[in-house]
Amino acid sequence: MHYLQQIAFVLLLLAAVWFFSRQVKFIRRNILLGKDENFSDHPDKRWKNVLLLAFGQKKMFKNSLVAILHFIIYAGFIIINLEVLEIVLDGILGTHRLFTEFLGMGFYRFLINSFEWLALGVLVVCVIFLARRNMLKIRRFISHDLDGWPRSDANYILITEIILMLLFLTMNAADVVLQERGVSGYTEHATGAFAVSSFIQPLLTSWSDNSIILLERICWWLHIAGILSFLNYLPFSKHLHILLAFPNAYYARLEEQGKMKNMPAIQNEVLYAMQPELAPTEAGEAPSFGAKDVMDLSWRNLLDAYSCTECGRCSAACPANITGKLLSPRKIMMDTRDRLEEVGKNIDKNGAFVPDGKSLLNDYITTEELRACTTCNACVEACPVSISPLEIILELRRSLIMEASNAPQEWNAMFSNVENNFAPWKFSPDERDAWTQN
């Protein structure tokens, strides 16, 4: 029976790793569908961003209370799951609390006690966040762009975290009771009671040995199976940012947030208008402007889409959204990810992308949304993981105007003046500075 458990565990572990690696390849391929961009500059500043933004969650601390609560969950996720390594090795080798042999009983007890306090903290914070998300009418949590799966997804994760922490504490309590009773298989590394699970032990005093062994095994299996399931759920969840926040922080743009990327083709046109002698004598291939679909965006924009936490801080800070306009920067990121997933499935089905009559522009993100953006950068400043919805908005708007010639009449008048008079005003080129004399 003991060997059957080891075999079953190894098979479960291999299946979980295989499925997760498959999803990682799918996401990586999708991100690399975007246009190439170089982010190899200033590695020192980039690693600093990883340390401050991803590990330290610097931007979260604009709201200290929420940041501390979020950090408890984050620390719990990172630190408590170090204990998973021992569970994995115990499952493969058929051992019991293997790390006591290497860490020493004193240090091992310190670690497990620390994990238990963290587990209790995570449990309490998850309950608070569930209540906050579902009972308090916080605008960014009740927004319609979260209707359906996105709203349920956040609740599922919080409930899963609560269950995992309860399983961990109950498993420890049952294990210690079995140690104290001298049950075979549990006495080799007697740890004694732990800080938090000791409060659960009295509930088990009337149980038989076999019942407690069954409880301990069920908690052990459900705990590790739950963690492996959680790992494979991440690629389908907004909580993928737990993993992608780190590369996203590393590849964050280092320029000023208000700086926009110029289009070389347009810059050259302006140069040739001012200095016609520099214009090429032969017409080259006509450039395309902006982005109509996800493949026209950069891979960095697509990484942003997958890294979005759907927290809604960007939309809460957006002046257009606040004043009731259709634009929601969070929805921009969610729509980009949804379209990218659809394109990826299209490629998997057909071997290469087959046009499906859809595009990110118009089918997912509307003209009205794009025109509501004031390019104020409030969404970029608010994002805790340095995502830039504004870059995607600008690229789509460039395609809308420069490829589809779709712009309001007032804008077209200005564009015409710029093209003909080299200024937004209806002066002749020789008099375009005349307004300064009035």
pLDDT digits (tens, 9 = 90+) for 31-63: 999 999 888 888 999 999 898 888 877 887 777
List pLDDT tens digits, range 206-249: 999 999 999 999 999 999 998 899 889 988 888 888 889 899 99
401 versus 429: the higher-pLDDT residue is: 401
Report d(CA 242, CA 55) in Å as an integer: 10
Residue showing tokens 């390019």? 375
Mean pLDDT of 158-165: 91
CB-based contact 261:367 (threshold 8 Å) = no
Output the CATH code of domain 264-268+290-428. Answer: 1.10.1060
Predicted TM-score (pTM) of this structure: 0.84
State residue 365 phi and psi, 5-degree precision. -120, 125
> What confidence score (pLDDT) does residue 283 get?
65
61 versus 296: the higher-pLDDT residue is: 296
> What confidence score (pLDDT) does residue 306 get?
94
Burial class (CB in 10 A: 0-12, 13-18, 19+), 419: exposed
35 versus 147: the higher-pLDDT residue is: 35
Report d(CA 129, CA 156) in Å as an integer: 12
CB-based contact 307:387 (threshold 8 Å) = yes
CA angle 8, 13, 17 (to 5 degrees): 150
Does residue 366 have a pLDDT over 90? yes
432 versus 318: the higher-pLDDT residue is: 318
177 C-beta neighbours (distance < 10 Å), count: 25
Does residue 154 have a pLDDT over 90? no
Residue showing tokens 């790793």? 17
Report d(CA 199, CA 209) in Å as an integer: 19
CATH 1.10.1060 domain span(s) along the chain: 264-268+290-428
Mean per-residue pLDDT of the chain: 87
Burial class (CB in 10 A: 0-12, 13-18, 19+), 84: middle
Report which of 131, 193, 140 is spatially closest to residue 162, judged by C-alpha positions. 131
249 C-beta neighbours (distance < 10 Å), count: 24
Does residue 103 have a pLDDT over 90? no
CB-based contact 382:314 (threshold 8 Å) = yes
